[in-house]
Structure formats: structure tokens, C-alpha cells
Amino acid sequence: FYLIFAIDGAPIGHKEKRFPSAIIIGVKKAGTRALLEFLRLNQKIHAPGPEVHFFDKNYEKGLEWYRNQMPETTWNEVTIEKSPAYFVSKSAPERIRQMNPKMKLIVVVRDPVTRAISDYTQASLKKKRLGMMPSFERMAVGDCSGWLKTNCTAKTRGVNANWGAIRLGIYHRHMRHWLNHFPLDQIHFVDGERLIRDPASEVASTERFLGLEPMVHDADFAVDPIKGFPCVRRNDQTLHCLGKSKGRKHPNVDRKVLEKLERFYQPENEIFFRLINKHFSW
Ligand code: A3P
């Protein structure tokens, strides 16, 4: 009979709060909550419920505060957190590297046009000014004066590229900061579009990236007949979907505006694909 100890001397099975070894750093409105909830189907993956925002908003609280936000895990389990605002934070890349240069980073990206509409839908609801906020079309390509700090007549290829919802989707600009601090092979990209169509395969490749054997399979999912998004199917055949703030109804956007945005993003997407050496279908 042996008592087994992990390499750090603690008995195997001992639970404690540990720093994450992986972080979902973005991108906001690309499916980050869905990815995290689906990863948690793997019993070896544990995460705090709310977004921690340590490396952007709570840094002065110190590392022990950060560790305290984490769930208790055993040595062979994976702690992960997600704070999509890190993606656009100037200080997060350097701070994360300082804490752990081996940190695994996960980035969910989706078609930036859909992401911008999702962002707009959230912003207009959040600020409870739906009806007051100009239409998506006006914000994206029209006269947005009074709504943006920048000059709304100075457009880039006909688009208000300074509007946050548009700017965030120029992924390569933000990604460059991360690549100044982390090698590409430490960053895993999840296709947010495929996460909706085929969640099991995106989750499985993320589990592998985390060094785990995939435990999440097609049979774990079923499509919500109302919203059309995948939900988790439990053993008792009940469906568990993300909350009402996920999978919202988007406004219908004028076809010409959509096409203009697609043309605007196309060269930016190409730069991003080259930068990360991976291509997506959008
Ligand atoms: P919408 O609510 O605008 O459709 P995040 O969690 O990063 O904020 O992303 C939210 C988006 O995730 C949602 O935006 C939705 O399109 C997408 N999503 C992906 N998988 C989903 C799922 N299974 N259920 C609900 N939304 C999902």
C-alpha cells in the first residue's frame, strides 16, 4: 500500500486554489461563454463562474487575490479563466507573461461582421437606450456624430472604423500585441462560427490543446429549437442552454451595408489569417 504524492510533495487528490494554466483572452461576443461552459463538461476542467478581469481591472489587488478567485482543483486538473476584455487590453499581454510565460492562451474569433452586430445588440440593450441609439447601419457606415468621440466624416473604405464594435473586429491589430509576448504555438484559435455548427469538434481540439483527452462528444449537444444554438444535453435528456443574454435576436441589417462591411473586413481578415497561420471561412 503506497500513499502517492505529486511532484510538489502534496498528496494526490489534495485540492487547493491554483493559478490558471490557460486563459480565454477573447474575443468578446465571439462565443467565449459557450466555449467555457462546453469545456467544463470535461470533469478535469475547472473555472471561476464570473469573469475575473485580473490583468485589466483588478491587477492592483495582487496575485493572491487572483488565486483566490479560482476554484479548488487537484494537481492533475486544469484551471482556466475567461476575461474577453484582455484581448484589447494594452497591459494584459505583458502582465500575463510576467506571471507565467508558459500560459496557454485561447482566442475565440468569429466573422467580424456578425460579431459587430452582436456587440451593437448588447450595447444598445445594456444601456437601455434601444430606440434612442442610432441604427446599426448609421453607426457602422453613416453619420455617427454625437455617438462617437471621433470624427464621423473620416471613414475608412466607407466604414466608421473607429467605432469600437468595428475596431475590435480588426483582429490582427490586437493580436500583434499578444504575439510580441507569446509564441504562436502557445495560442489556440477557436472558430466561433464552427462552435455554433459543430461544438464538439471545436471543444475537442481545445481539450487537446490543454493537454487533455477529449471527453466532450457530439452526443453531449442538441440544438435549442427556439434560438437555434447548441445546448448541453444531460444524461436525463434535459437541455441546458446558455442564459438569455446569449443567442439574442439581432436586428435585420441592410444587405448593402453588410456587403460594405464584408469588403471592409476582407483585407483585414487576410492579414489576420497570415499572422496566425490559420484560415477561417469568413
Ligand atoms: P449573440 O447573443 O449576439 O447571438 P460571448 O459569450 O463571447 O459574449 O459571445 C456571445 C455570442 O456567442 C452570442 O452572441 C452567440 O451568437 C454566440 N454563441 C455561440 N454558441 C452559443 C450557444 N451555444 N448559445 C448561445 N450563444 C452562443
Q: HEC profile for 82-147?
A: ECHHHHHCCCHHHHHHHHCCCCEEEEEECCHHHHHHHHHHHHHHHCCCCCCCCCHHHHHHCCCECC
Question: Pocket residues for ligand 1 (CB within 6 Å)?
Answer: 28-34, 84, 118, 121, 195-196, 229-230, 242, 246-248
Cross-strand pairs, 22: 80, 104
Residue 274's H or E segment, with its range, is helix 255-276
Any domain includes 2:
no
Average pLDDT over residues 244-255: 95
Determine whether 149 is an active site residue. no
Any domain includes 3:
no
Given a cut of 90, whether residue 102 has pLDDT beyond it is yes
Of all atoms in ligand 1, which is nearest to the CA of residue 117?
3
**d(CA 35, ligand 1 centre) in Å:** 9
Given a cut of 80, whether residue 65 has pLDDT beyond it is yes
Is 153 annotated as a binding-site member?
no
Any domain includes 272:
yes
Any domain includes 4:
no
Give yes or no for a contact between 10 and 18, defined as CB atoms under 8 angstroms apart. no
Average pLDDT over residues 19-25: 98
Q: How far apart are CA 125 and CA 181, in angstroms?
A: 36
The CATH number linked to 74 is 3.40.50.300
pLDDT at residue 18, as a whole number: 97
pLDDT per residue as tens digits for the range 262-281: 999 999 999 999 999 999 99
To test the pocket of ligand 1, the residue of 28, 33, 51, 86 to mutate (highest count of ligand atoms within 8 Å of its CB) is 33
State yes or no: ipTM above 0.90: yes
Give yes or no for a contact between 145 and 160, defined as CB atoms under 8 angstroms apart. no
pLDDT cut 70: percent of the chain above it: 96
Q: How far apart are CA 139 and CA 155, in angstroms?
A: 11
Domain count, the chain: 1
Any domain includes 90:
yes
Could you say which of 29, 82, 104, 260 is catalytic? 29
**d(CA 31, ligand 1 centre) in Å:** 5
Q: How far apart are CA 36 and CA 24, in angstroms?
A: 8
| Smallest CA separation from ligand 1 atom 18, residue | 31
Q: How far apart are CA 100 and CA 253, in angstroms?
A: 43
**d(CA 116, ligand 1 centre) in Å:** 12
Report pTM.
0.95
**d(CA 1, ligand 1 centre) in Å:** 50
Any domain includes 281:
no
Any domain includes 207:
yes
- Provide the mean pLDDT of the chain: 94
Domain that holds residue 69: 16-276
Any domain includes 11:
no
